[in-house]
Chain A
Amino acid sequence: MEFSRALDLEVNETVRRLAAGVRMLGDPRVRDVVAGLGGVALHFVSSIQESAPELAAAIVAQCMKSGLPPAEKLGRDLEIPVCYEAEFALDLEEVSKRTRLGPAEVQRLHASTEYLVLMIGFAPGHAYMGGLDPKLSVPRRANPRAVVPAGSVAIANDQTVVYPYAISGGWSVIGRTPLRVFDARRAEPSLFGNGDRVRFRAIGKQEFVRIAANA
């Protein structure tokens, strides 16, 4: 179900509330509910007898009738430690050049706003967060990196992400968190959830090493 083809924060909020509402219904025919930036997918079990679009419409209608969960209840407040030191900030120099801001100012701006998780997707625990200071807006890199180290904090356009695994990626890396973004053996495997309000806290190398050892 698509509600918008361009990023609209109001639609995005409704999408996240709807996805949470459908999951809360716990209908056994629904195996998975995925919220995109502007739409929701319901993945049904293969044994459904109904037509999928009709069933989806009925479930959404039921959800709307009982009221969607309020937006502020969807997420948690998270503080994520990030080390912005050169060793981890692979693209800081380039971002600094493009934005005409000093490296220290890039870090300060990145760590001074609150972000909102607009979507989880692409890889396990991979959160797309909106709220990046417009002064930090840079396009995606022309040549994506084959491997971005796990925990890398990166920016592109008006969003920021934290890479959960060492995967390929085209965003500009400006730091790294020592936390494990996705851990299948944790009770809550994903660090981030949809609707989380996220702040980044700058840490030094020593603290990074200390936290990483316990993560």
Chain B
Amino acid sequence: MTIRVLRPGLLTTVQDAGRHGLQHLGLCPGGAMDEVALTLANALVGNDAGEAALEITVIGPELQFERDTLVAVCGAEFQGSFPHNRPVLVPAGSRYSVGRAVRGARAYLAVAGGFALEAVLGSRSTYLPGGFGGLEGRALKHGDVLELGEGVSEVSKQRFSSLKAKAGHTVRWSAPPLTLADREPVLIHVIEGQHYEAFDAASQRAFVDAVWRVSPDSNRMGFRLQGPQLSRVKEGSGSDEILSGPAALGSVQVPSSGVPIALMADHQTTGGYPRIAEVVSADVPRLAQLAPGGKVHFARCNLDTAAELRRHMQDRLETALRGIAWSYGR
């Protein structure tokens, strides 16, 4: 009942919808960087939205399926013949090799019934800095064996048959990729950060005028953004530290180096650097789809627009989920 890891890829980890409710202990929620893609992948194999999946990053793994397994891959498009955004019944014994990402940076591979992994603090997400969750708290490596749920091949075949597929191992329709941008720079909406006023006028302008590049030393904790150096209004105190306060997913903080960092899934819960902006929640999954070197452009908006963007993304996701449920005869 397993998947064997023949090649791990650049960074393949188990992620679910995250470990919420523990930020007061300093523990970030973590979970899938692109939660929309995770939700779609789970829906396509008939799972609950928050089931754990493999988060595949930039260079994909090679996996061997030892049982008939219903699989779906959503999010970034990768090289390889595996059809994206649809349920695929992978026959026992087949190998699945994922190449490089060609559009986006992160894909989610969900399997019917999920992975047989113990939840730690209520989640199966891998938290790399703490070394827990997922598979032994680390990224997949060569030779790993991922246990799947009991009776995965029966569950897979039964779910696949309810799809009434007429095209062999998959269906003729696909779910829409909701978080992949058509072109770069990707437009990301932000609201003013708590310390926006602390930055000088030139930096405030530069933040929205510049095309930023995601730096190679970006990770699940944060994306470093290459572009103009941002500076603060000179104050008498000369201190570039602010009183440590809560930070959030999407906070854009600026350390004294002037290089902004957008906080991502494994972000710190508090920070002592001024925050110039906050990425609106609807755009966090879209930002997560940028690979190192990817280009981004920020547009300021207000809270009402941020809420509207959130509802719009939710509507599109719910429409896609209804379509998938209908295909399953529900």
Interface residues of A (CB under 8 A from B): 2, 4-7, 19, 23, 31-41, 43, 46-47, 51-53, 119-126, 128, 164-165, 167, 182, 184-185, 189-190, 193-194
Contact = CB atoms under 8 A, between A and B. Distances in A.
Given A32-B29, A38-B243, A123-B26, 12 more contacts: A4-B243, A34-B246, A34-B269, A52-B307, A121-B246, A121-B268, A122-B244, A124-B25, A165-B129, A165-B130, A184-B121, A194-B24
A39 to B, nearest CB: 5
A32 B23 contact: yes
Given A33-B24, A124-B130, A184-B133, A6 B243 contact: yes
B129 A19 contact: no
Residue among B270, B271, B281, B307 having the largest count of chain A Cβ atoms under 10 Å = B270
A173 B121 CA distance: 30
B245 interface: yes
A33 B127 CA distance: 20
Contacts of B269: 34, 120-122
B310 interface: yes
B293 interface: no
A41 B194 CA distance: 12
Closest 3 CB pairs of A and B: A121-B270, A36-B245, A41-B246
B194 A2 contact: yes
Contacts of A122: 26, 244, 268-271
A4 B194 CA distance: 12
B245 A185 contact: no
A166 to B, nearest CB: 10
Contacts of A36: 243-246, 270
Contacts of A4: 243
Contact of A43 (B23, B242, B245, B304): B23
Interface in B253-294: 268-271, 281
Nearest to A39: B245
B25 A123 contact: no
Interface in B88-144: 120-121, 127, 129-130, 132-133
Contacts, number: 112
A34 B133 CA distance: 22
B244 A37 contact: yes
A91 B93 CA distance: 57
12 contacts: A32-B24, A34-B269, A37-B243, A120-B269, A122-B26, A122-B271, A123-B129, A164-B26, A165-B129, A165-B130, A182-B26, A184-B127
Interface residues of B, number: 33
B21 interface: yes
Contacts of A6: 243
Given A35-B24, A41-B248, A119 B270 contact: yes
Interface string B229-250: 0000000000000111110100
Nearest to A52: B303
Contacts of B161: none
Contacts of B29: 31-32
A189 B246 contact: no
Contacts of B268: 121-123
A46 B243 contact: no
Residue among A32, A119, A182 having the largest count of chain B Cβ atoms under 10 Å = A32
A13 B133 CA distance: 33
Nearest to A41: B246
A11 B24 CA distance: 18
Contacts of B320: none
A185 B133 CA distance: 10
Contacts of A52: 303, 307
B322 interface: no
B24 A47 contact: no
Interface in B48-91: none
